[in-house]
Structure 1
Amino acid sequence: MDALLPPKTWQDCQGKWQRMVSLLPATRKDTQRLQETFDQLLEQYQARVHAICPVREKFFLHIFAEELIREVACECPERGLMLLRVRDELRLTIEAHQTLYHNSIAYGRQKAVQAEAGVGELDNEISRLQAEREVLLAKKKELVQKVTVSVYVHVVCDTYKLELLMFLTPAVFGRTER
């Protein structure tokens, strides 16, 4: 059993301690006491019910890794060994998902920063294009005025030429002199 679940050793001011895994199967009362302790710990450490919660994950893995595997290993060491492999695989999967989660958060932040930078560039481009538009509108207005003056002068000149022509050749236009 020590190979499956090795004893835990620690030291404090009172001395060196070692906790070994019990080979006795759990009773109903032990399971109820474990459930009560589990609920108290979740409440005490304010574990979230939904979403990713490291506290909740830690307690669930502890119960799965310690108590459930211990009970199964007491009855059948081969099953206990298989559950240890499942536990280790779950830990690796969780670590991979956490890595993906953190990488996706970092990627999202990076894209948000790039988008913010892009907004500034687009605002500058809009300002530049609006200024260019104002310059072009002023130029258009100036050209329209020049064309209008030119046409007016041309019409006035043509009118004077026509009058001059009419004055010089009255017979052509049906005018007779007096």
Structure 2
Amino acid sequence: MLEEQLDQMLLNRKARETGLCPIRRELYSQCFDEVIRQTGSNCAERGLLLKRIHDEMKMTIAALEKLYESSMGYSMRKAQQAEKVKSEMEAKIVELQKSKVKEMVESSVQFKVRMGITIEPLE
């Protein structure tokens, strides 16, 4: 009965079936609380143990969410740094290509002068 109610609530609230879903987490937490309540009424020790397990799960999920958020921030910073380095490297490549072309032109002119080839001015 409780499982059917949970399934119906998941459908009604349009909880996602996969991935992180706060709606699904909330409904499962409520369901777990109900199982704890029902179990605790029959056996207090089991109820307390289930409550402890549920609290530990909540703390673990909170820690994982914090870790996820932190890693997302870190990855965004790294992506920005990589983009900056990429732009700098692209500018450096253009600069080196221009200087290499200039060197090659100068070297060509010097070679032609040494070989006695006349250089006609460009029009």
Normalization by structure 2: what TM-score? 0.88
Q: Which residue of 2 aligns with 1:105?
A: 72
Q: After superposition, what is the alpha-carbon deviation per residue over 1:97-140, rounded to whole angstroms, capped at 9, x for unaligned? A: 11111111111111111111112111111111111111111111
The ranges of structure 1 where at least 4 consecutive aligned residues each deviate by more than 3 angstroms after the TM superposition are none
Residue in structure 1 matching 2:35, options 40, 65, 68: 68
Residue matched to 1:144: 111
- Residue 77 (1) aligns with residue 44 (2): yes
* Aligned pair partner of 1:53 in 21, 36, 42: 21
User: 1:175 matched to which residue of 2?
Assistant: none
CA RMSD of aligned residues (A): 1.4
Q: Which has the higher helix share?
A: 2
- Distance in 1, matches of 2:65 and 2:30, equals 18
CA distance in 2, matches of 1:109, 1:47: 28
Map of 2:89 onto structure 1: 122
Larger Rg: 1
Q: TM-score w.r.t. structure 1 length?
A: 0.62
Unaligned runs of 5+ in 2: 118-123
Distance 1:119 1:127 in 2: 12
Counterpart of 2:116 in 1: which secondary structure? helix
Tell me the alpha carbon deviations over residues 49-70 of structure 1, each in whole angstroms, 9 at most, x when there is no partner. 11111111111111102x1101
Identity over aligned pairs, percent: 33
CA distance in 2, matches of 1:56, 1:129: 57
Cα offset for 1:44? 2.1
**What amino acid sits opposite 1:122 in the alignment?**
M
Q: Counterpart of 2:12 in structure 1: which amino acid?
A: Q
Specify which structure has the higher proportion of strand.
1
Q: Which runs of 5+ in 1 are unaligned?
A: 1-31, 151-178
